Structure 1
Amino acid sequence: MRIAVTGSIATDHLMVFPGRFADQLIKDQLERVSLSFLADGLQVHRGGVAANIAFGLGLLGLDPVLVGAAGKDFAEYDAWLRANGVDTSAVRVSQTLHTARFVCTTDQDQNQIATFYAGAMAEAAHIDLAETAARRGPFALVHIGADDPAAMLRHTAAAHLRGLPVAADPSQQLARIDREQARRLVDGATWLFTNAYESALLRERTGWSEDDLLDRVGTWITTQGADGVSLARAGQPRLHVPAVPADKIADPTGAGDAFRAGFLAGVVWQWPDEQSARLGCALATTVLESVGTQEYKLLAPDLIARIARAYGNDAAGALEPRPAGSL
């Protein structure tokens, strides 16, 4: 069974500010911010949440189907994804627009300020997920990542109509959508992904409390950076999985996407949630240690050793058979 990964396909323009954003903000002037940060260097990498997650799943041998819209400049990126195990046959390629752009500046505290230009992503709503499922399925689940909001809503409805489990991951688009849209995106999801900030924003956007949301989803997974991951289910104790320590932090961009790839791989392999989250944390730290969201490699011995150091030999032993046979 394969995973359909829907969402953005983009090019990342990554810069580093050698200071702290917080030091540049004046408390009583926040309503009229006009700032320019002189960045050190520029790196351009492949990105987009759906492409990043699909890339990680491809490295793990899951043969994911990428569902999104890219621009007329997609040929080289397309070849890269296919070479790394991603099925791109469901990608809509625009004849007039360029692939989306993500421009992000990171400060010395790993805080980020970013802007996203949609470009060809605006055509994602023209993709028919039902037709894709008929051609490329059957799908074990459908991940609904940040995308053109109309596309996210259409894919969510199509997945529910076909009875496919949904992993709702509205992330960056929470800032764009209204209350009704937010509710439609998460209601009935088998898995809900947010980071710590987005969890609060989701409650504000939906008007639902944490208990309300847990009554409407299966498992709510909240990534918390260096503090690890929490997993919540209605009527059950919250599960916390510590992060895998990093030897160095090169760039935080894409770490959350890598976590999702690892976690969703575990779901397909029918692992317990804790085991899936541990694999996700190990992939996230691997990405933290490289610049760019798809510049990392996965070697089974290194991945298993990383998990053993973080969670113990028993945890590594439980993971070992599957990744070793998939990488």
Structure 2
Amino acid sequence: MPVLVAGSIATDHLMHFPGKFSDQLLADQLHKVSLSFLVDELVVRRGGVAPNICYGMAQLGGAPVLIGAVGQDFDEYRGFLEAAGVDCKHVHVSKTQHTARFVCTTDLDMCQIGSFYAGAMGEAYDIEIAPIWDATGADLAVISAYDPAAMVKHSAECREKGLRFVADPSQQITRMDGDALRGLIEGAELLFTNDYEKSLLESKTGLSEDEVMARVGVRVTTLGSKGVEIVGRDLERVHVPVAKERNRHDPTGVGDAFRAGFLTAREDWQLSWERAAEVGSLLATMVLETVGTQEYVVAKDEFSNRLAESYGDDCAAEVLPHLS
């Protein structure tokens, strides 16, 4: 079943600083910080929250539909995504703006300092979800981070039309006020955040953990190296550890890959919450092991073997029939 994925579409400029940011930041001087980091690596990669999620879904055999706003410079990126199995027919193309840019530097501790230029993303407010839902036969809409006003509008449209949706505010929590965040999450079947974003969302909305849970069906919270926690009103707490990693290169896009794996396993394959989190966690680890957010390939046997290595033979046996 097609899944609509709305969110930022961007080009990533990823750099590596061969030191630690924490060694360069003076606690009593942060009010006048002025720093330049000499980096030893620069790579330019395809990125953006929505294409990252869509690419991961397509790697697992899903049918993602990309929703977002881009510039006239999107043609090459479009060709790559369509070749990977992503439906790009409903992407809005701006007549005046460039596709968004993400510029990020990562240090030896995997800490990051990044900047995001919105560009064409500012026109996302003009996008309507319902017509695309009807045209594609979708059964779920994922509202991920991009123009905050568009995110709130999409959520309201889904509630009004009775469309199932996922709230995934991630980086935009810092830009959105409490009213906007409450409007975004109200009625969501799933709410994705990491543990820091969870606390920040509660602080900004003034809602307690229980009050947030009263507004959403299930809350999925990634915990970094401690794995992922899933809680719901009619669901016993589920905790899944991270998948075993072989190396570390860059954490950019790890959360997007987790969402791709989780949603595909849960929505398309109808697997349990635990299995969905395990699939998502392995896909996230594969992104951590590469530079760039769409540079990995899911090979059926290798993916199954790694699931067995991290989560046991029963997990691998249950997932294997669904891998293309």
**TM-score, length basis structure 2:** 0.97
In structure 2, the partner of 1:260 is 259
Q: What SS class does the counterpart of residue 62 from structure 2 fall into? A: coil
CA distance in 1, matches of 2:274, 2:140: 19
In structure 2, the partner of 1:312 is 312
Q: 1:235 Cα deviation (Å)?
A: 6.2
Tell me whether 117-126 or 54-63 shows the greater mean CA deviation: 54-63
In structure 2, the partner of 1:193 is 192
Matches within 5 A, 1:73-88: 73-88=73-88
In structure 2, the partner of 1:104 is 104
CA distance in 2, matches of 1:215, 1:126: 30
**Is contact 1:70–1:100 with CA below 8 Å preserved after alignment?**
yes
In structure 2, the partner of 1:174 is 173
In structure 2, the partner of 1:271 is 271
Q: What SS class does the counterpart of residue 139 from structure 1 fall into? A: coil
**Is contact 1:51–1:66 with CA below 8 Å preserved after alignment?**
yes
Give CA-to-partner distance per residue, 1:204-225, whole Å, 9 cap, x none. Answer: 1111111111121111111122
Matches within 5 A, 1:10-159: 10-136=10-136, 138-159=137-158
Give CA-to-partner distance per residue, 1:57-109, whole Å, 9 cap, x none. Answer: 11112121101001110000000000000000110011111100000110101
Give CA-to-partner distance per residue, 1:275-323, whole Å, 9 cap, x none. Answer: 1110000100111111000011010111111110011111111111112
CA distance in 2, matches of 1:235, 1:90: 35
Q: What SS class does the counterpart of residue 232 from structure 1 fall into? A: strand
**Is contact 2:69–2:121 with CA below 8 Å preserved after alignment?**
yes
Structure 2: runs of 5 or more not aligned: none
**Is contact 1:211–1:234 with CA below 8 Å preserved after alignment?**
no
Q: What SS class does the counterpart of residue 73 from structure 1 fall into? A: helix
**Is contact 1:251–1:290 with CA below 8 Å preserved after alignment?**
yes
CA distance in 2, matches of 1:214, 1:32: 40
Q: Report the AA paired with residue 282 of structure 2.
A: A
In structure 2, the partner of 1:163 is 162
CA distance in 1, matches of 2:149, 2:181: 12
Q: 1:34 Cα deviation (Å)?
A: 1.6
Tell me whether 61-70 or 43-52 shows the greater mean CA deviation: 61-70
Structure 1: runs of 5 or more not aligned: none
CA distance in 1, matches of 2:78, 2:309: 36
In structure 2, the partner of 1:285 is 285
Paired residues, number: 323
CA distance in 2, matches of 1:58, 1:108: 31
Q: How high is the sequence identity, in percent, across the aligned residues?
A: 52
Q: What SS class does the counterpart of residue 238 from structure 1 fall into? A: strand
Q: Report the AA paired with residue 243 of structure 1.
A: V
Q: Report the AA paired with residue 143 of structure 1.
A: V
Q: 1:15 Cα deviation (Å)?
A: 0.3
**Is contact 2:173–2:201 with CA below 8 Å preserved after alignment?**
yes
Tell me whether 3-12 or 212-221 shows the greater mean CA deviation: 212-221
